Structure 1
C-alpha cells in the first residue's frame, strides 16, 4: 500500500544506486555481551554499509536523489567538498565513475592529522582509483567557496557542472533517508517488530533530517530518531538538523509544524572534535568487530555506537524495547586510522 511519503517521494527523479533495501540483522552476540537478554531489550543493526557501489555507506542514499536530478538536467561534471577522508567524496567519485560523469573533489584539512595513512590511504586511495580529480586545499581555505570558483571556470569553458555541498546534506539529499524511513517501516512488518528508536551518527545532519522527516510523515514522529553529533556541539547540531528536517518536509509537500524538542541529539561522544579518536569510540569499534564481525568507522558510526552503548548500559530502554542502530558505512576510514588502532 502506497503511503503519503511514498507518493511524495515518487515526484522526484532518483538514480537506483542501492539495488534494493539494505538488510537488518539482530545483534545476538552483542545482546549477550551487554546483558540485554536479561533486560529483554533487543538490538538490531541496519546495514547501510552493505551496498554494492564504492564500498557502501549512507551517502549513496543521498546521491540517489542528487544524481537523479543531475541526470535529468544533463550535468556533465559533479563537484563536491569534504575532508581529506570524506566518505561522501569517495562515494561521489564512485557514482560518477559508474555513470560516466566527470568528478572533482575539493578536500579541506578538517582534522589535525598528518600521518601518511591519513593523507594517502583509506578514502584518499579510493578517490584516486575511482578516477576523480582531487584538489587538496591548504589549511584555512573554504572548500565550498573553491568549489563554486571551480564550477564557474567549468561553465566558462562550456561545461555543465553541479556543486553538491558537504555530505550531500541538502533537502534533496535528505530525501534519501526519508525513503529509508519507509524502507525500515516495511522491514519492521517483515521482521514482526517495531523499533522503539532508530540511532545514527550526525555529521552534516542530512541522515538524521531525512529519517526524521520520513518518520514524521509516516505518523511515527521525528523523535523516533536519536543521533550523536560527531561534528559540532549539541545546540549547533540540533539547530542545523531542525532546519534541514523542516526544509525536507516542505520539499515533500508537508506543512507539519515540527517542534524543536522533536530533534533528539546527544553530543557526549564528540570528544576533542571531528575526526579525533576517543577511548569510547575505540571500545565500540572493537566490541562490534569482536562480537559481530562487523566494522564500524572511527569518525561517525564508531562514536554513535559508543553513545548507544552508554544508553544501553545506563538502562535507557525498558523491557520489550527493540532498538535499531544504522551502520552508515565509512569502513575505508579505518585504514586511515591505522596508527590509532595499532597503538592499542
Structure 2
C-alpha cells in the first residue's frame, strides 16, 4: 500500500510523496487521517522554505491541524481503540534543562516540538499523510455528534480559545478582533461563546468580514482608522500579525483595556504606538499556541456552543495540495482550506 503525504522540500517545492507505512512506537497509534487544515505556517514553508526562524533543512511532512480514525491501537494498551475518531493535539512540551518556564503552561516549554515543524533537526514530521503514527497522548476521542470535518478545527480553535482566555473574563464586555482570517474568525466565535456583549471584527477583505458578521459580529474595513479609533473596546485581539494591525489594536482599546497579541509579528523590532499604550495604561499580553484548553474546545465543538459554521470554505483532495495551498494563500477568496485524505 502507498502512504501519500504532502511534503515541503524547499521554497515553491511542494510534492505528494509516498512516505511508506508508519512504524509506531509502543505508545503510538496509527491514525488514518481524514482531514488536515492548512495553516499559515504550512503556507510559509511552501512559499519561503521557512516559517519564521524554522528553516527547512530536510523534507518535511506538513500539517498539524488533524482529524482521523484510529486504525491500529498502541501496543502498550494506552489510548483509543481501533475505530475511534479523534482530533489531534500536536504539542510535545519539553524543557531544555536551562531555561525556566512555568510547567503549568506547557505551551511555553522552551524546547517543545510541534507536528509539522522545522524548528528542530531532525524536523518534527507532520500529519498531512494518509496514515500517521502518533503518541496516544495527542489523541482526543470525538464526542458523539462531532464529525471529523468539524473536528479538524479543534487545533486552530484552541489557539483562539487560549488567546481570548489571556484577556480574562470577557463576559459582558466589548471585544474587537483585528484581522478576520481563520484564527480571527475563531476568536470572534470564542468571544461570543464566552459571553461577550459585543464583538467587532476588522479585515481588509469582504469575504472574512461577511463571515464575521455571520457569527454575529459587527464588521469594519481595516482601513477605516477613524471607526476603529472610536471602538473603545474593553478587549482587543490582534490576529493579523501585521504592523498596521498592531497599531489598530492599540487604537481600538479603551483606556485601561487589554490587547492580546495573537498574530505573530516579524522577528526583530516592529513599530508600534507605545506612547498611546502607556498613556491609556493598556495591558499588552502575548498568546502562543495553547495548553489544556483543547478538551474544552472539542466539547464546545461537539455540543454546538462554539459556532464555526462556514469558516471552512474549501475542502480539497490532498492530491491537489498545491491548488489547495494557493487557494488558502488568497484571503480575499477563502477562509479555512482543508485537505481531504479519505477521498471525500
TM-score for the superposition, normalised by structure 2: 0.32
Structure (1 or 2) with the greater strand fraction: 2
Structure 1 length normalisation: TM-score?
Answer: 0.32
More relative contact order, 1 or 2 (CA 8 Å, 6+ apart): 1
